Amino acid sequence: MGARFAEGGLAFAESTQQALAVLTTLEGQVAARDVAVVLFDGRLGAAHAAVLDRTPPMLLLARRDPEGLPSAWELALLRNVMTGGTMVPSRTILRRQLILRQLPDIHAASEAAAAMVLEAGGKRNAASIAADVMHELAANALLDAPVDSAGAPSYAHQRDALPVIADRDACEVNLGVADGYIYLEATDRFGRLEPGPVARAVSSLGQQAHIRAAGGGAGLGLRRMIEHSDAMAVRVTPGAESRVVCAVNLGDARRRDSAPKSLYFWTVRG
């Protein structure tokens, strides 16, 4: 396995011994060629934008347990990022898959997320947050991702309209509850998402949010997803697929934006 722990000059990096413990857990289960892992205290902020906006981006893995290692569910999510297919855990107690083909489907997916949280015994504010995250994920995949044959955005500036979505531009969402979280995943068929927008969203954490007039709504949506989630993972197969999953805690966490977070951006190389 070609995994390595990125330490040099990063104040938030932990010891090589801890890194080796993480990578040993992943050994034999991840087909990775060159993985840069940063094990940090989980307080994601603007300073981390630089390690995302690089090639390849570093994988930011939060320390959670008393010994300073990541949780089992985060290691499982990291495995899923690198092994292909859905990143929603297989051991879910509730699971649902939807294909979105039109604007009202985004609202339906949001309602499904909220209902699943409540069915699993989650808090009402967690249901509201899950609906918000699912809306942003679905809107990004259905409206912001598609481009035409010339590479121009097909629907990015029609979020408030009712665009006619071509069948080929439909997207898939997967929802599942496991480990005290709802996992919300959206997949488009274009593979255009790059680390830059995610890094810019991270760089704005803790600052007043600003809506840009150009470029669609994905920037603010990415920030909201990061703030609301305990973990966010992205896997991109360029030109073929962008898959994004967010793990939202089912509990009544009032300060989710400051809770420990893991963030992965994985680009599949041929």
- Please name every residue paired with 234 in a beta bridge, in sequence order, or none if there are none: 244, 265
Q: How are beta strands 35-40 and 3-5 bridged, if at all?
A: parallel
| Per-residue pLDDT, 211 | 46
Residue 129 is predicted with a pLDDT of 96
Q: What angle do CA 196, 201, 202 make, to 5 degrees?
A: 95
Listed by start position, the domains of the chain span 3-267
**What is the side-by-side strand order in the sheet with 171-178?**
3-5, 35-40, 59-62, 262-267, 231-237, 241-249, 181-188, 171-178, 94-100
pLDDT at 250: 96
Q: What integer pLDDT is reported at residue 77 of this predicted model?
A: 92
pLDDT in tens, 130-189: 999 999 999 999 999 999 888 888 887 776 776 788 899 999 999 999 999 999 999 999
pLDDT for res 5: 44
CA distance 99 to 154: 18
Structure confidence at residue 101 as a pLDDT band (50, 70, 90): very high
Whole-angstrom distance, CA of residue 98 vs CA of residue 94 = 14
Confidence (pLDDT) at 193: 94
Q: Look at the block and give the residue holding tokens 């509730």.
A: 94
The per-residue pLDDT for 23 is 62
Where does the pLDDT of residue 215 fall: very low under 50, low under 70, confident under 90, or very high at 90 and above? Answer: very low
Report whether pLDDT(7) > 50: no
Are 130 and 118 in contact by the 8 Å Cβ rule? The answer is: no
Convert the pLDDT of each residue in 237-266 to its tens digit. 999 999 999 999 999 777 777 788 999 999
Return the structure tokens found at 204: 């704005």
pLDDT at 6: 45
* Residue 213: pLDDT over 50: no
Per-residue model confidence (pLDDT) at position 64 = 83
Banded pLDDT at 99 (limits 50, 70, 90): very high
pLDDT for 8: 37
For the stretch 37-93, pLDDT in tens is 788 888 898 989 988 888 888 889 888 877 777 888 998 898 888 888 999 999 999
N- to C-terminal Cα separation, the chain? 17
The superfamily CATH assigns to domain 3-267 is: Histidine kinase-like ATPase, C-terminal domain (3.30.565.10)
The pLDDT, as a whole number, for residue 184 is 98
Q: How many CB atoms lie within 10 A of CB 130?
A: 31
pTM: 0.88
Residue 270 has pLDDT above 50, yes or no: yes
What's the pLDDT tens digit per position in 15-38?
556 656 666 666 555 545 566 778
